[in-house]
Amino acid sequence: MKLWGTRFTKKTDREVEAFTSSISFDKKLYRYDIRGSIAHAKMLSKCGLISREEASKITEGLEEIGLEIQEGRLEFKEELEDIHTHIEARLREKIGDAAGKLHTARSRNDQVALDTRLYLRDEVKEIIGLVIKMQKAIVGVAQENIEAIMPGFTHLQPAEPVLFSHYLMAYFWMLQRDRERFKEGMARINVMPLGAGALAGTSLPIDREYAAGELNFPGVTENSIDTVSDRDYIIEFTSAASILMMHLSRLSEELILFANPAFGFLEVDETFCTGSSLMPQKKNLDVAELVRGKTGRIYGHLIGLLTMMKALPLSYNRDMQEDKEPLFDTVTTVKESLNLFAKMIGTLRIDKERMLSQAFIGSMWATELANYLVRKGLPFREAHQIVGQIVACEDKEITLALLKKHSGEFDCDALSFLDPEEVVKAKVSYGSTSLDQVREQIKKAKEIVDEE
């Protein structure tokens, strides 16, 4: 009989069983369901609601079931609906009537909230570790190529020369914000929901704080209705994951562009590329392309979760079963993407000569020439206009005579800013692309990752 079947006189339609069953995906939560159930049994015993002997039998039985599932020896059935029911049914087979006492003072509503919080707490810690792994890879490549100069772009048009290390470190700081978002979200994940019951709590004398301590939660949820109807922590996680994937997608796009011979700035190792079944010469950055593509899928999960929750009345509704597949897929996708990207970044080979040669194209000296005139006392708008006129003459050789034709403030030292290295060297503002500033940036980045 189903856990809820007492008041029913008819069997559930087989197609309804298949449609409503979640065991095909929520079996992933078995470790957390067992861990939570053991803590619940200890709490029930401590509060005198079950005996020590019953708690011991329940705990032993649950541990044996965990091993059975781990080894693939437990058969999953659609009619048993979910992982909670499977474990309880198997526990009854193993220890008899004592198994029926495990569900005292809890509902599957607070039980699944506990399972997903325990699951997500572990996964977020792992994801943060993978973000750090990628940050370290970025720092390593930036330091190895710290003096390489490349064209910087706005609107994907030539703008100003920058250090390649400065460009790459931009992604370090994006990932740092991602880390912070995941860490801040952890505070809202790491709250113990067990004891909320179906929605109203319980009249039985339980000790929620004791159960929280058993499960290493620093606190318990404050409102039983909110507890079982809350999926904010999953939505917040998926939002943070979406932003992280957006960052990886932007980097993917640039790696694809910069590896194209039209740019020729870098090469990705063959172990992260594939070829063409038709064109023998092809070397495609499929890892980067798939990360770029999977980003859209994670966005879809976020929108799906928000849409699922947007008009649900309090408290629990079965709609909320639809949170798990997008959550599990988001976790898997983020972990795989970060792991592969960290490895791939470490294989980059930079063509410093090619990048430098491209930094001479497109009048990328223009801004620094305008700043030169500003240092001579001209208003920036006037300096901007003068240099704009010089840019219009770029089909001619830029000589001191040409510069003086447009402004008598130019001296021979202005010609040095036609060299991308001098343009980069001239930057002095904090966080800019000069070598000294990038060295400071890398030093700070190392301190950040070493703190973990």
Domain stops at, among 331, 357, 383: 357
The 10s digit of each residue's pLDDT in 333-346 is 999 999 999 999 99
| Number of structural domains the chain divides into | 3
Considering the domain architecture, whether residues 84 and 182 belong to the same structural domain is answered as: no
**Could you tell me if residue 212 is inside a domain?**
no
For residue 138, which of 162, 166, 172 has the smallest C-alpha distance?
172
8 Å CB contact between 130 and 182: no
Considering the domain architecture, whether residues 282 and 146 belong to the same structural domain is answered as: yes
Measured distance CA(91)–CA(63) in Å, rounded: 10
- Mean pLDDT within 95-105: 95
pLDDT of residue 8: 62
**Residue that wins the pLDDT comparison between 12 and 293:** 293
84 is catalytic: no
Considering the domain architecture, whether residues 375 and 297 belong to the same structural domain is answered as: no
Considering the domain architecture, whether residues 93 and 120 belong to the same structural domain is answered as: no
- Mean pLDDT within 148-167: 97
Instruction: Find all residues with CB under 8 Å of 222, minimum gap 6, and list them.
Output: none
Considering the domain architecture, whether residues 98 and 16 belong to the same structural domain is answered as: yes
Domain stops at, among 357, 381, 414: 357
- Mean pLDDT within 31-54: 97
- Mean pLDDT within 352-372: 96
Residue-number span of the structural domain to which 33 is assigned: 5-104
- Mean pLDDT within 396-404: 91
Active-site residue, from 22, 56, 86, 155: 155
**Bridge partners for 350 per DSSP:** 266
Please give the structure tokens belonging to residue 261: 């011979």
Considering the domain architecture, whether residues 56 and 42 belong to the same structural domain is answered as: yes
The 10s digit of each residue's pLDDT in 265-319 is 999 999 999 998 999 998 999 999 999 999 999 999 999 999 999 999 999 999 9
**Strand locations in 271-429 (E):** 349-350
* pLDDT(148) > 90: yes
pLDDT of residue 3: 63
The 10s digit of each residue's pLDDT in 200-217 is 999 999 999 999 999 999
* pLDDT(103) > 90: yes
406 is catalytic: no
**Residue that wins the pLDDT comparison between 232 and 5:** 232
Considering the domain architecture, whether residues 169 and 251 belong to the same structural domain is answered as: yes
Active-site residue, from 86, 242, 252, 276: 276
The CATH number of residue 29's host domain is 1.10.275.10
Instruction: Find all residues with CB under 8 Å of 242, minimum gap 6, and list them.
Output: 295, 298, 299, 301, 302
* pLDDT(107) > 60: yes
Considering the domain architecture, whether residues 94 and 124 belong to the same structural domain is answered as: no
**Could you tell me if residue 332 is inside a domain?**
yes
pLDDT of residue 9: 64
Phi, psi of 161 (to 5 degrees): -70, 145
Domain stops at, among 86, 104, 122: 104
